[in-house]
Structure 1
Amino acid sequence: MEPDLFTAAAEERQLKDPSSSPLAVRMRPRTLDEVVGQQHLLKPGAPLRRLVGEGSGGPAGPSSVILWGPPGTGKTTLAYVVSLATQKRFVELSAITAGVKEVRAVIDGARRASGGFGKETVLFLDEIHRFSKAQQDSLLPAVENRWVTLIAATTENPYFSVISPLLSRSLLLTLEPLTDDDLRALVRRALTEERGLGGAVTLANDAEAHLLRIAGGDARRVLTALEAAAGAAIAKGEEEITLETVEETVDRAAVKYDRDGDQHYDVASALIKSIRGSDVDAALHYLARMIEAGEDPRFIARRLMISASEDIGLADPTALPTAVAAAQAVAMIGFPEAALTLSHATIALALAPKSNAATNAIFAAQADVRKGLAGPVPAHLRDGHYQGAAKLGHAQGYVYPHDVPGAIAAQQYAPDAVQGRHYYEPTRYGAEARYADVVEKVRGRLRGDGQAETRP
């Protein structure tokens, strides 16, 4: 996919009149030294420095990079900077709208550019986790043959969302959320630099604090809000952006809430403890404070998913699916509508019966493993699907549970070191009461011979 006339014309307009582009685009770094945050990737000798050939005599390392991190942390920016630093063509695709056809067109264009003009290509593929396995497979020849330098971005765990062959051929770089100090430096640079606002307005301290608070660690968000507030201030003939102007433009009150300080952790803790304590009204209050303060909705959703397992578990087996569905919905719809979904999940969790039996169970099992209570897997449970397994006694004597009445066979499953130790102790709350009745009957059937029980 060669750069088309429209793209070239847009780039030419931006060069002639930078102010025609959004502030976030104008402030995009042009070198690695201008990038804010991600210092673990940018210090001397770090992966990104080596990728562009700094200090090594030329570019080195894999021709595929996967950038994993939350939105607004600079994934697109880093790809663009790499292309500038290495003087390569930059082609951007989004997995949301592109398919195999578009990917192959880019690869064909890259091969022509390399063979005919000696110009290598950086292919930036955003949202790679949205590509199917077959679509990701289509990238492998280009990566293996170095027809392109692939820089793929994802907000999802790549170990679950990216195919193993591509992951094994890639340098995986984890991007961290931008800190308030990172965003503050970016805001102040945007206020003063000529390609930014060029000193047209200043920013009050409380207005700056509010911008950082609502940014949620997202550079694009903070620059977009700053640009809107600056435009409003200039329209009113004001030389300083005030808190009131910021509130007007982003339509959000300045709630006292420090995302990196005590308020952040205190309010998040209070939300979970209110859910644990079944006080639905208090939980909704803390949820509202987090939303109004600009907290990342995905952070809230993650906390709700943890609470569903930690504090509710099998007392209400629908709690975790509700929280997971809420997290998925939040990722798809975003604010402001995500507030409704978070409210839905918070109310459901707060009013659900509570049990920490699942939490205690895994903690007890982990404690035994850490003590060295493990031991070999019983021979009859080992894999028998290979030649020679029978000679080793593997899978011999295994009783297939479906072949016996009740589908529970009296045989040993745990290693000898922990045989008879019980980790799951169900409560009598909610739906877990059913599990409490079932578990002792099942354990008795498994024992068969009535051997003595021990508890961790």
Structure 2
Amino acid sequence: MSAPLADRIRPKTLDDIVGQQHLLGPGRPLRRIIESGEIPNLVFYGPSGVGKTTLASIIARRTKKHLCKLNGTSASTADIRAVVSKVGTLEAVNGILLYLDEIQYFNKKQQQTLLEFIENGDITLIASTTENPYFYVYNAILSRSTVFEFKPVEPKDIVPAVERAFRFLSQERGKPIKAEPEAVRRIAFSCGGDVRKAMNAAELCALAAEETDDALQVTPELAAELTQSSAPRYDREGDEHYDIVSAYQKSMRGSDPDAALHYLARLLAAGDLPSACRRLMVCACEDVGLAYPQIIPIVKAAVDAAQMVGLPEARIPLSDAVILVSLAPKSNSGEAAIDAALTDVKAGRAGPVPRCLQNKHYDSAEVKRKGQFYKYPHIYPNHWVQQQYLPDTLQGAAYYTPGENKTEQSYAAYWRHIKKEETPDK
């Protein structure tokens, strides 16, 4: 069985790499470092299929270092020592470049094993990770490395790569492959920024292409059929998950229903119904809140319906609710109020509950004025009476500020009116 097309067609020079111009474009820092020939320890951070492994191979070739590849999911400390054993041998006369893929799967002890060898220069380390290295990579390694972030490749940049793939496959098979421009575009736009996925799709299309007398035909319909299940990049445990749910809520908060629906669609395409429902409920409470308090039971009903019917029908009540939340007036006064109160509590600013609010109990002997003296608001006009509610140490504290929306302003106006009509105690 031959290697995947992505490996057979792997770029050999910096200029052949698709995308990553923010790192490898003319004059960019990483390109200048590579061209200098003096390679420091590096950490490549970014999603899969965007050129991290390819770049490590190009660096090894340019520096004439012996390239050793390990994968954090399967490599052991013994594998690291086996790499180190090659130091100073004819096989690695120009030094060793260790490419450690998925370093986040190495435990702390395994990562510590690397330190001795990268500190003394026996090994140049290029580690790659799809997770945030500042969370998953041992600090001692990070302090000895430079982190570069790789981005998903734009579809427009993937189009030339797909065209090149079909030319390569034509040469391999000895028969022209005629891929219609729309077919190429469909492949480029369906791979979620993953060039490897685009190469795999191109190879599938070549295998399934209709054969004519003079060529293999790749039509848009064939490309659509073979890429329709190619969901956007998504990992429920990784950065992409948190980026998408963050963008989902921020789009609703920012009153952009189209963007909010886009991120909802990405969550649902990945089958992540729980995250779609949870963030929607949070947004209704946090970002709409008291500006339209009735929205909370409405959104809760939509979430319940979505969870009851499941996917794909769940998309319908969720879409309704996302649009409603996006277009509703916004207020975070409730969240700000409870956060301010929590700040006081966590700082130790509390104090005994005022006697008038305590549960009924007997006063001790030293209490001179015995009794609870609670004023029951419902026997007073407008169901309100002035009395102490906050502890003595917090008298005058104000946590809630009404939002600038008609609902909260109407509440504020009502209470200003009521409190001016305070009557004497009965």
What corresponds to 1:451 in structure 2? 396
CA contact 1:271–1:286 (8 Å) conserved in 2: no
3-state SS, counterpart of residue 197 of structure 2: helix
Q: Corresponding residue for 1:92?
A: 69
What residue number does 1:44 align with?
Answer: 26
**One-letter identity of the residue aligned with 2:6:** A
Provide closer, same or farther for how the CA distance between residues 247 and 400 of structure 1 changes in structure 2, counting only shifts above 3 A.
closer
1:22 matched to which residue of 2? Answer: 4
**Using the alignment, how far apart are the partners of 2:66 and 2:348 within structure 1?**
62
Return the match for 2:208 from 227, 232, 247: 232
Q: 2:72·2:106 contact (CA, 8 Å) conserved in 1?
A: yes
Write the deviation string for residues 292-345 of structure 1: whole angstroms up to 9, x where unpaired. Answer: xxxxx49999877765644456999xx9xxxxxxxxxxxxxxxxxxx979979x
2:42 touches 2:125 (CA, 8 Å); kept in 1?
A: yes
- 1:160 is the counterpart of 2:135: yes
- The one-letter code matched in structure 1 to 2:395 is G
* Structure 1 segment 163-182 matched on structure 2, within 5 A: 163-182=138-157
1:306–1:270 Cα change, 3 Å: closer
Tell me the amino acid that sits aligned with residue 94 of structure 2.
K
Q: Deviations over 1:10-48 (max 9, x none)?
A: xxxxxxxxx943211122111111111111111334333
Tell me, in whole angstroms, the C-alpha distance in 2 between the residues paired with 1:284 and 1:185: 27
Distance 1:206 1:270 in 2: 34
Alignment of 1:361-440 (within 5 A): 361=335
Q: Summarize the Cα distance change of 1:108–1:405 in structure 2 as closer, same or farther, 3 Å threshold.
A: farther
- In the other structure, the counterpart of 2:187 is 211
Question: In structure 2, what is the equivalent of residue 105 of structure 1?
Answer: 82
Deviations, residues 169-228 of structure 1 (Å, cap 9, x unaligned): 111101111001210111122222477777721211221222122211000000100011
Alpha-carbon distance between aligned partners in 2 of 1:205 and 1:246, rounded to the nearest angstrom: 11
Deviation, 1:359, is 8.8
Instruction: Indicate the structure (1 or 2) with the bigger Cα radius of gyration.
Output: 2
CA contact 1:184–1:212 (8 Å) conserved in 2: yes
Q: 2:48 & 2:175 partners in 1: Cα distance?
A: 28
The equivalent position to 1:146 in structure 2, one of 121, 128, 138, is 121
Distance 1:359 1:454 in 2: 9
Structure 2: how far apart are the matches of 1:290 and 1:399? 44
Describe the superposition over 1:334-388 as per-residue Cα deviations: whole angstroms up to 9, x where unpaired.
xxxxx979979x97x969xx9987797469999xxxxxxxxxx99xx9xxxxxxx
Distance change >3 Å, CA 454–CA 233, structure 1 → 2: closer
CA distance in 2, matches of 1:175, 1:299: 25
TM superposition shift of 1:102: 1.6
SS in 2 for 1:139: helix
Query: Residue 68 of structure 1 is aligned with which of 41, 45, 58?
Result: 45
1:299–1:136 Cα change, 3 Å: farther
- Kindly state the Cα deviation for residue 283 of structure 1 after the two structures are TM-superposed: 7.4
Deviations 1:266-299 (A, max 9, x none): xx9799759x9xxxxx9799638973xxxxx499
Contact 1:204 1:241 in 2 (8 A): yes
**TM-score normalised to structure 1 length:** 0.56
- When residues 36 and 360 of structure 1 are mapped into structure 2, their CA distance, relative to the original with a 3 A threshold, is farther
Structure 2 unpaired stretches of 5+: 232-243, 290-295, 300-309, 354-388, 402-426
> CA separation in 1, counterparts of 2:151 and 2:281?
26
Report the aligned-residue RMSD.
5.1
1:186 counterpart letter in structure 2 = A
Shift in Å at residue 152 of structure 1?
0.7
1:298-377 paired onto structure 2 within 5 Å: 307=280, 309-312=282-285, 361=335
Pair 182,155 (structure 1): closer, same or farther in 2 beyond 3 Å: same
Aligned 8 A contact 2:338 2:399 in 1: no
* Partner residue, 2:265: 287
Letter matched to residue 209 of structure 2 = A
Q: Contact between 2:45 and 2:148, CA under 8 Å: does it hold in 1?
A: yes
Structure-2 separation of matches of 1:44 and 1:298: 41
SS in 1 for 2:126: strand
Secondary structure at the counterpart of residue 54 of structure 2? helix
Q: Secondary structure at the match of 1:123?
A: strand
**Using the alignment, how far apart are the partners of 1:196 and 1:359 within structure 2?**
65
Residues 25 and 108 (structure 1), Cα distance of their counterparts in 2 relative to 1, 3 Å cut: same
Q: Any idea what SS the aligned residue of 2:147 has?
A: strand
Aligned residues: 320
State the SS of the aligned residue for 2:163.
helix
Aligned partners of 1:449 and 1:364: how far apart in 2?
Answer: 15
**Unmatched tracts of structure 1, length 5 or more:** 1-18, 255-264, 277-281, 292-296, 320-338, 367-376, 382-397, 407-442
Query: Does the 8 A contact of 2:46 with 2:151 survive in 1?
Result: yes
Any conservation in 1 of the 2:175–2:216 contact (CA below 8 Å)? no
